[in-house]
Chains A and B, each alone.
Chain A
Amino acid sequence: MKFRYAMVCSSNQNRSMEAHCLLKKQGFHVSSYGTGTHVKLPGPSLREPNVYDFGTPYKLMFDDLRRKDPDLYKRNGILPMLKRNLSVKLAPQRWQDNAADGYFDIVFTFEEKVFDMVLEDLHNRDQVLLKSVLVINLEVKDNHEEAAVGARLAFDLCEQIEAVESWEDSIDDILTSFENKHRRKLMYSISFY
């Protein structure tokens, strides 16, 4: 695996973690991030969402929610999701604060808003390394089922990108064939570190 990957969604809980988990299992060098300001999870009602800061360990959230209402959070899939997440890494990380994690070669986002935020953030950084980074947006709806589908698609795409010598030369072809195969629209941009 020659590239470093980053999976980014808004809360670093569902979509990015699903993909992170899958790619990690497949032996990819992968990290995951969220672009939101907080990690927000559904609560018992609209008035009471569960809001955490980035960096709060998944385990802590898991224990917290299990204490609050095990039935509810089990039923809506939050607890299982957190359990999966805590097996992948310690805590949700924020994309905007990831400068210390080094550069990535390929960044996957799962929502156009996130895509724009990642690009904006990359443009705002000092681009001194001149290391190109490919940012691909794959629209995935934020629910458990779609996240699983999205993760598999991302994995598929990663494999194809790994297979070529340099993505810079063939990215258009790869994405076109991917789009034709899966009937999914992709968007990409190139930025630099």
Chain B
Amino acid sequence: MNPVSREKLASLSNSVKFATDLGPKLELCRQLKRDLLEEDAAALSEFLSHIFDLYSDPSGPVRKLATEIIGEIGVKHLEFVPEIAPFLITVLEDATPAVARQSISCSIDLFRHTLEKTAIQGLHSSELDSDLESSWSWMLKLKEKIYSIAFQPGSGGVKLVALKFVEAVILLYTPNPNGSSEPPPNEGTPIEFNISWLHGRHPFLNVGDLSIEASQRLVLLLDQLRFPTVKSLTTSVIVVLINSLSAIAKKRPAYYGRILPVLLSLDPPSFVIKEVHVYGANNALKNALLSCLQCSHPSAAPWRDRLLGALKDMEAGGLAEVALNQVHKVNGSVEDEKDHSSVIKEEKPMTKACDAAGSNVGRKRSGTEDSSGLAETGDVSGKRVRSTPSVSEESTKELNRNTSMSQGDISSAQSTTRKVDVDTGPVQQLVAMFGALVAQGEKAVGSLGILISSISADLLAEVVMANMRNLPPTHSHTDADDELLEDMCIVGSNTQAKYPPSFLVDVVSLSSTFPPIAALLNSQQSVPNEIVIQKTEVGEEVDVMAGPNSTVAYAGMAHEAENALLPGMEKIDVPTPSDIQDVGNLESGIPGLDSSFHYDGLSDAQAASSLVSTDLEDTSQEQGTSFGGKSPLHVLPSISIERSEELSPKAAVNDSSGVVSSTATSVVSSHPFVLPKMSAPVVNLSDDQKDDVQKLAYIRIIEAYKQIAVAGGSQVRSSLLAYLGVELPSELDLHKLLRDHILSDYINHEGHELTLRVLYRLFGEAEEESDFFSCTTAASAYETFLLAVAETLRDTFPPSDKSLSKLLGEAPCLPKSVLNLLECLCSPGISEKAEESQSGDRVTQGLSTVWSLILLRPPIRDVCLKIALQSAVHHLEEVRMKAIRLVANKLYPLPSISQQIEDFAREMLLSAVNIDAAEITDAEGLIIESHKDSELEKPSHEHQSVSSTGKDISAIFHQSETSQSGSSPSVPEAQRCMSLYFALCTKKHSLFGQIFIVYSSASKAVKQAIHRHIPILVRTMGLSSDLLEIISDPPTGSENLLMQVLQTLTEGTVPSAELIFTIKKLFDSKLKDVEILVPVLPFLPGDEVLLLFPYLVNLPLDKFQAALTRLLQGSSQSGPVLSPAEVLIAIHGIDPERDGIPLKKVTDACNACFEQRHIFTQQILAKVLNQLVEQIPLPLLFMRTVLQAIGAFPGLVGFIMEILSRLVSKQIWKYPKLWVGFLKCAFLTKPQSFSVLLQLPPPQLENALNRTAALKAPLVAHASQENIRTSLPRSVLAVLGLSPESQPSSQVQTSQAHTGDTNNSEKDAVAEISKESSGAS
């Protein structure tokens, strides 16, 4: 070692030791490792101790790395093992599991290398160097230590690795049947170590001892999995054990018989305590069994049925089918491999396989050579079979190629007998015996041999025949099928190489049966003839098949005979595999089989030239290449031929026993069986053609189904149809065909059931845990199918039909597009304009479907509800009302969704109120939603995208519509939004309050809409406590609404006492507006009304009139509250100043009364005036009323005169205002009033005449009349200027003094009257 590197290493190891941080420390360690591994042994020996020191490090990762370094050094330089092994043993005890595990990991490498080196050195020399010997002994110690860890009770990571170590040692200690039995010529060759290299010539490694140890350890491993030990294990240990054991079984088939019983008897549910991981162990077991099943080794064969059974049990239910398929596939390939590849591919087994048939070879060879003299009959084959074991050993010895004789024997024996295990015939017992022997493995070899040799050939044949059933039932391997298809061509094409052997055989056999055809074939191509030549190898049967070919055949025979002599031993080896079958068939071998074996042999064993004649060489080589690496697979067809032969084994036996033993005889015997094959030539189809054929076939099937309905049993069959439609390649679009079938007559074709079957199948496919790709495609197929059926149902069936509803109710799931369809149905106009024409019945259909979906499918309840709600605010009233009925009557009572409905309705209500902003955003929201929809749907279907664009357009249209009205929504628009809410109010009265709240801020149109609704709404609701509560505290601004509600409530019925009470309370406390009392006025007692009268008068005129009407009409029960007279008197009783009511209001009220002449009749007025005139003081408006009465009813003049005279007696002039009215009245009623005027005292008369000068002249004229003049007092006459001179002066004085008093007030009165009269006129 050069000093520099030594220096470097030393510093490195020091810095490792002193580094404090874990990260850098590990990095340094790795650096050290790299450097160390480059050093030579000498340098390392110095440094080893340094590294051992590293192990004292407190941190686990460093110790682990140190262990790893040491392990690698050990592997590289085995001379250090004596030092390293003790170190590793200590490390095994490390507290950190990872470090201990590392130690075992290193140990196995070290162990393998030491063993290998020890073994190889021992092979080359009888003495081993002492170092190696001590290394080995240390390794053994290490091994024992690890064993103890592996088999100690308990668990943990270390144990897992230790178990793995045991597995590795078992594998190392036992011969590998697949490996090379010879050590590599030079030591450097990287080839897997095989203990069988030792051959018992090693100084101290004894193969037998090692085997014994291995099998002891195996027993220990197996014991762990046995009850009850297994109960104490953790799942991880169990999993590792199962995996290890299955690996051993697979790699060392000799142990099959010991491992499998244990694995098969494992029952995970019963042994795993922590139940949650039962299936973890279960899965491991399943995989282990499956891998065992796949094992191609002959000793695995007897176990196959039990394995299958166990797997079936484990995968009960859905997985069973899969497992079966899998197993079948496995089975097929296993059969192939066992029959052929193990024989052909591996040189050694092949020679072994020859053993059983060795005698055949020998016999046949001799038979061939001196065929002319040989005339053996039936007992020949018997002899042959009996002599099998001995001869085989002889022959193998001769060949001297098989180094492990016993094993070879077993495998060959097993390969012949393995077919015995299922049997129904008389050979059952024998079969069972074979099975039992085979299951025992190696130990039973001897007994097997004895058994085979002791039974008769016929019986053995029976056994084998019975066992034939185990051959694969079909060409299950798809690759092989494909290969075949490719290889087959129509006869007459000139690609010779494409013919598979079996086909050629067919041709041969055909040609021998039908000479003309053979001739034809002959003229066309040479290959069959050549094959014939080969078949006629031995020539004995040439006559049978000769016909026109005979010459050629003879020539061929001659040729062949020559060939037969040429190749020597090699040649005989190659064909022997086929003779294994011959043992069973008693020489009824099939040429096809033979030839294929030849080819296999050729391609693999490269003995082509030695076997085949030069003529054939081209063909065979071509075939060899065309079969490529798949030679074992293409043997399948010949096996199937063999099976066909199985049908009449007796005949075959007879045949063969009757003729001399030669492969050629079978040409004859196989005729009847292979002949039918010719009738079905295989035609190669292009993909498109295949598609067409499949499609046509399916159409035929569908057509046939149209009749099935009559025949019955459609239940089962429709499921088959659905399965076919879905299972065939989806590219063919069979769905469409199926759909057409379903829809062509939905009812009679059980369309519903069939559709559901298809849907469930597609749905299952989509939901299956498979890749992304098939999921998406299946989902879209599902959607398309469902949508198409749904659309057709909608379009073709009458709206009253329930099929659509039923379908949607039972389909496995409803994709979005289907929901859209439903939406269009419920809200026509959303998508296509064309649908506008659809009748309301469709809407009903849609809605009832939605309803049933909401009830039946909780997961999509929200979506369906949305559809219904959308429909409930539809712009068409017809649609809307239907939907509202559904929502309010059917859906709203459902507690789970009522809140949602309420929220939506409220939102819509508010949106109507918050006009501008809300309307526009709502419309936009709709647009966005529909955009989203259309985007989602586009990929699914073209039709779909069309409809969605239609929807876009309509949505835009819709928007423009709403945005136009957006600024102030029309009444219909407001109604659209609010109807639903009103409907809900009838179900839940407390909701009504919201309308009151909303009302105040609502626009005119909205208010109008509300008012339009209220009568119906309130009438439906009736008076409830909720409503009373709302009424008792209405929000400000909602008075009008309240009024309407009250009006509606009182219309035509007697309001309840509560209502009246509530209203009165409201009037008293909060709302001083007497208007609210108006509706209940008729139901109030008269005295209360009289108290309220001033307020009523104060109302706007129209409202007063309304109130008046109510009062006068009263309620139907109690009659009018007030009589008209009472009303008028009440009006006159109002004192504007006292009651704070403008005079104008009072006069208006009077006027209003007078307008209703049919109520306020002459009589009533007279009555009223009569009463009023008695009042003291006189009512302010009395004279006005009198004047009006005269205006209205001139007939009252007489009565009025009476009143006037009463007024005179009441000294009317003392009421200045009334005085004016009096005078005016007098003026108006002249001349009748003259008599009243003349009753006035002279001063008042004078005053009156002064005020109304126009009266004077007529009055004087009236008084001048003789009869009157005489009745008048002088004073009056003086006033009138009719008296003598003396008197008037004094009269004037007094009157002047008097008038001076009243001057001012009189003027006022005049002014007032004139004003009033103008107002009244």
A and B from one complex: yes
| Bound-complex Cα distance A113 to B283 (A) | 11
Interface residue stretch chosen among A18-26, A38-46, A53-61, A87-95: A38-46
CB distance from B1252 to the nearest CB of A (A): 100
Question: Counting CB contacts under 8 A, is B243 at the interface?
Answer: yes
> Is there contact, CB below 8 Å, between A42 and B777?
yes
> Is there contact, CB below 8 Å, between A191 and B243?
yes
> Is there contact, CB below 8 Å, between A187 and B280?
yes
> Is there contact, CB below 8 Å, between A36 and B771?
yes
> Is there contact, CB below 8 Å, between A187 and B279?
yes
Question: Counting CB contacts under 8 A, is A159 at the interface?
Answer: no
Question: Counting CB contacts under 8 A, is A165 at the interface?
Answer: yes
Known: A169-B157, A192-B164. A46 touches B284 (CB 8 A): no
**Within 8 Å CB of A188, what residues of B?**
235-236, 239, 277, 280
**Within 8 Å CB of A172, what residues of B?**
234-236, 274, 277
CB distance from A103 to the nearest CB of B (A): 11
> Is there contact, CB below 8 Å, between A132 and B157?
yes
> Is there contact, CB below 8 Å, between B280 and A189?
yes
Residue interface bits A108-144, CB-to-B below 8 A is 1, else 0:
0001110110011001000111111000000101110
> Is there contact, CB below 8 Å, between A168 and B771?
no
> Is there contact, CB below 8 Å, between B101 and A11?
no
**Within 8 Å CB of A120, what residues of B?**
287, 291
**Within 8 Å CB of B157, what residues of A?**
132, 166-169
Question: Counting CB contacts under 8 A, is A98 at the interface?
Answer: no
CB distance from B764 to the nearest CB of A (A): 14
**Within 8 Å CB of A179, what residues of B?**
276
CB distance from B69 to the nearest CB of A (A): 15
| Bound-complex Cα distance A15 to B240 (A) | 28
Interface size bracket, A side: 35 or more
Question: Counting CB contacts under 8 A, is A72 at the interface?
Answer: yes
**Within 8 Å CB of B277, what residues of A?**
172, 175-176, 188
CB distance from B371 to the nearest CB of A (A): 50
> Is there contact, CB below 8 Å, between A128 and B109?
yes
A185 closest partner in B (C-beta): B279
Of residues 106 to 120 in B, which have CB atoms within 8 Å of A's CB atoms? 108-109, 112
**Within 8 Å CB of B773, what residues of A?**
40-42, 49
**Within 8 Å CB of B240, what residues of A?**
190
| Bound-complex Cα distance A42 to B778 (A) | 11
B168 contact from A13, A40, A76, A130, Cβ within 8 A: A130
| Bound-complex Cα distance A112 to B322 (A) | 14
CB distance from A101 to the nearest CB of B (A): 18
B772 contact from A14, A165, A189, Cβ within 8 A: A14
| Bound-complex Cα distance A81 to B745 (A) | 45
> Is there contact, CB below 8 Å, between A10 and B771?
yes
**Within 8 Å CB of B98, what residues of A?**
166
| Bound-complex Cα distance A123 to B292 (A) | 12
Q: Give the total of B residues in contact with A, Cβ under 8 Å.
A: 49
Of residues 139 to 193 in A, which have CB atoms within 8 Å of B's CB atoms? 139, 141-143, 165-169, 171-172, 175-176, 179, 185-192
CB distance from A131 to the nearest CB of B (A): 6
> Is there contact, CB below 8 Å, between B276 and A176?
yes
| Bound-complex Cα distance A13 to B776 (A) | 15
> Is there contact, CB below 8 Å, between B772 and A41?
yes
CB distance from A185 to the nearest CB of B (A): 7
Question: Counting CB contacts under 8 A, is B155 at the interface?
Answer: yes
Question: Counting CB contacts under 8 A, is B1136 at the interface?
Answer: no
| Bound-complex Cα distance A13 to B157 (A) | 33
Question: Counting CB contacts under 8 A, is B262 at the interface?
Answer: no
**Within 8 Å CB of A116, what residues of B?**
283, 287
| Bound-complex Cα distance A41 to B771 (A) | 9
CB distance from B232 to the nearest CB of A (A): 13
**Within 8 Å CB of A192, what residues of B?**
161, 164
Question: Counting CB contacts under 8 A, is A75 at the interface?
Answer: yes
A115 closest partner in B (C-beta): B283
Question: Counting CB contacts under 8 A, is B688 at the interface?
Answer: no
> Is there contact, CB below 8 Å, between B731 and A42?
no
Question: Counting CB contacts under 8 A, is A67 at the interface?
Answer: no
B164 contact from A14, A36, A75, A130, Cβ within 8 A: A130
> Is there contact, CB below 8 Å, between B105 and A168?
no
CB distance from B225 to the nearest CB of A (A): 15
| Bound-complex Cα distance A119 to B98 (A) | 23
Of residues 82 to 111 in B, which have CB atoms within 8 Å of A's CB atoms? 96-98, 101, 104-105, 108-109
| Bound-complex Cα distance A125 to B247 (A) | 11
**Within 8 Å CB of B1319, what residues of A?**
none
> Is there contact, CB below 8 Å, between B108 and A130?
yes
B733 closest partner in A (C-beta): A46
CB distance from B653 to the nearest CB of A (A): 44
| Bound-complex Cα distance A49 to B774 (A) | 10
> Is there contact, CB below 8 Å, between B247 and A46?
no
A11 closest partner in B (C-beta): B771
> Is there contact, CB below 8 Å, between A142 and B771?
yes
| Bound-complex Cα distance A139 to B279 (A) | 14
Question: Counting CB contacts under 8 A, is B156 at the interface?
Answer: yes
Question: Counting CB contacts under 8 A, is B492 at the interface?
Answer: no
> Is there contact, CB below 8 Å, between B772 and A42?
yes
> Is there contact, CB below 8 Å, between B287 and A142?
no
> Is there contact, CB below 8 Å, between B243 and A130?
no
Question: Counting CB contacts under 8 A, is B935 at the interface?
Answer: yes
**Within 8 Å CB of B243, what residues of A?**
123, 189-191
| Bound-complex Cα distance A167 to B101 (A) | 13
CB distance from A75 to the nearest CB of B (A): 7
Known: A76-B939, A192-B164. A129 touches B105 (CB 8 A): yes
A128 closest partner in B (C-beta): B109
CB distance from A82 to the nearest CB of B (A): 12
CB distance from B33 to the nearest CB of A (A): 15
| Bound-complex Cα distance A45 to B781 (A) | 10
| Bound-complex Cα distance A14 to B770 (A) | 12
B168 closest partner in A (C-beta): A130
B277 closest partner in A (C-beta): A172
Residue interface bits B109-147, CB-to-A below 8 A is 1, else 0:
100100000000000000000000000000000000000
> Is there contact, CB below 8 Å, between A130 and B279?
no
> Is there contact, CB below 8 Å, between A190 and B769?
no
Question: Counting CB contacts under 8 A, is B160 at the interface?
Answer: yes
CB distance from B486 to the nearest CB of A (A): 21
Known: A119-B287, A189-B243, A190-B160. A171 touches B772 (CB 8 A): no
A168 contact from B112, B165, B236, Cβ within 8 A: B236
> Is there contact, CB below 8 Å, between B164 and A127?
yes
Question: Counting CB contacts under 8 A, is B48 at the interface?
Answer: no
> Is there contact, CB below 8 Å, between A143 and B274?
no
B235 closest partner in A (C-beta): A172
**Within 8 Å CB of A169, what residues of B?**
97, 155-157
B778 closest partner in A (C-beta): A46
Question: Counting CB contacts under 8 A, is B730 at the interface?
Answer: yes
Known: A49-B773, A176-B277, A191-B243. A75 touches B287 (CB 8 A): no
Of residues 1231 to 1275 in B, which have CB atoms within 8 Å of A's CB atoms? none
Most chain A CB within 10 A, of B730, B771, B776, B938, is at: B771
> Is there contact, CB below 8 Å, between B161 and A123?
no
> Is there contact, CB below 8 Å, between B97 and A165?
yes
**Within 8 Å CB of A36, what residues of B?**
771
CB distance from A153 to the nearest CB of B (A): 16
List 10 A-B residue pairs with CB atoms under 8 Å apart, sorted by A's residue number: A10-B771, A47-B731, A49-B773, A115-B283, A116-B287, A165-B96, A168-B101, A168-B157, A188-B235, A190-B239
Query: Which A residues contact B (CB, under 8 angstroms)?
Result: 10-11, 13-14, 36, 40-42, 45-47, 49, 72, 75-76, 111-113, 115-116, 119-120, 123, 127-132, 139, 141-143, 165-169, 171-172, 175-176, 179, 185-192
Question: Which 5 pairs between the two chains have the least Cβ-Cβ distance?
Answer: A168-B157, A130-B105, A166-B97, A46-B777, A42-B776
Query: Which B residues contact A (CB, under 8 angstroms)?
Result: 96-98, 101, 104-105, 108-109, 112, 155-158, 160-161, 164-165, 168, 234-236, 239-240, 243, 247, 274, 276-277, 279-280, 283-284, 287, 291, 730-731, 769-773, 775-777, 781, 935-936, 938-939
* Given A142-B770, A172-B234, 7 new contacts (CB under 8 A): A14-B772, A46-B777, A120-B287, A132-B101, A132-B157, A169-B156, A190-B236
